[in-house]
Amino acid sequence: MSEIQMLSPSIRNRVWQVADSYYLKDDWAHGRGHIERVVRSALEIGRLEGANLEVIELAAILHDILEHKERHDKIEGFRHEIEGAAEARRILGELGLPSVTIGAVVHCIEAHRKRASHHPETLEAKCLFDADKLDCLGAIGVIRAAFVSFDHGQNFYKEIKDIDTYKKENIRPDGTIIDFSKHSSNLEWELSIKEVPSRMFTPTGKRIAEGRAAFAADFYARYGQELKGIV
């Protein structure tokens, strides 16, 4: 079990000051609100699992600093978890944090994405992964999905008769989306998010995820029925 170590208030304030220059306050999906929710969830999971809370909090604050750049600049091959980890290394280095702490934080950020090429190897990385995924589920997850759909000019709900063909045409082998305009919230649910509980790494994260996933499943089923006039 890792040693429980809290982040000092002075470092926390300095990291948030830097992070605020990256996050959009009106971006409900990946802006400051999302980060604050992930920080709270990650710290709670970390406490229950016995992780290093200093590493978790630093990683949670910085984990999506370049997500907006990936989503809107559309640079070929740009991965926000990889580029963001490198940026976090620079930021924390300038703040004078120990190299061992920086390395642990960088791994957490590299491995936080469900479509990432890196997989969580440490308890702290697993706690961050789980906390970030919890924000894709439940009532919050449904609202975030709507925000992402509207941000990309998508329909919120799209009826697809042959989902396997759609997956071959618009989803890369690594799970990333080719053309966001053809995607939708319910397709993201069907092809990715509903499997999140089975991919959680900690007992705490899995327990919470299962409850939130049940809510989301009921919502999408009900929404599809209402569109057809069934209920």
Are both 1-126 and 136-231 of the same fold? Answer: no
pLDDT of residue 77: 62
pLDDT of residue 72: 56
pLDDT of residue 2: 44
Domain 136-231, CATH class in plain words:
mainly alpha
Is 50 exceeded by the pLDDT of residue 1? no
Give me the DSSP letters along 132-173: HHHTTSHHHHHHHHHHHHHHTT-BSS---S-HHHHHHHHB-T
Q: What is the mean pLDDT of the chain?
A: 88
Domain residue limits, the chain: 1-126, 136-231
pLDDT of residue 75: 59
Percent of the chain with pLDDT over 90: 56
∠ CA 74-80-85, nearest 5°, is 150
Give me the DSSP letters along 187-223: HHHHHTGGGHHHH--SHHHHHHHHHHHHHHHHHHHHH
Q: Compare 221 and 30 and report the one with higher pLDDT.
A: 221
Does the structural domain 1-126 have CATH classification 3.20.20.390? no
Over residues 197-203, the mean pLDDT reads 96
- List Cβ neighbours of 185 (8 Å cut-off, separation of 6 or more): 142, 145, 146, 148, 149, 154, 156, 157, 220
Q: How confident is the model at residue 23 (pLDDT cuts 50, 70, 90)?
A: confident
Is 50 exceeded by the pLDDT of residue 162? yes
| pTM of the predicted structure, to 2 decimals | 0.86
DSSP code of 174?
Answer: T
pLDDT of residue 73: 53
pLDDT of residue 78: 58
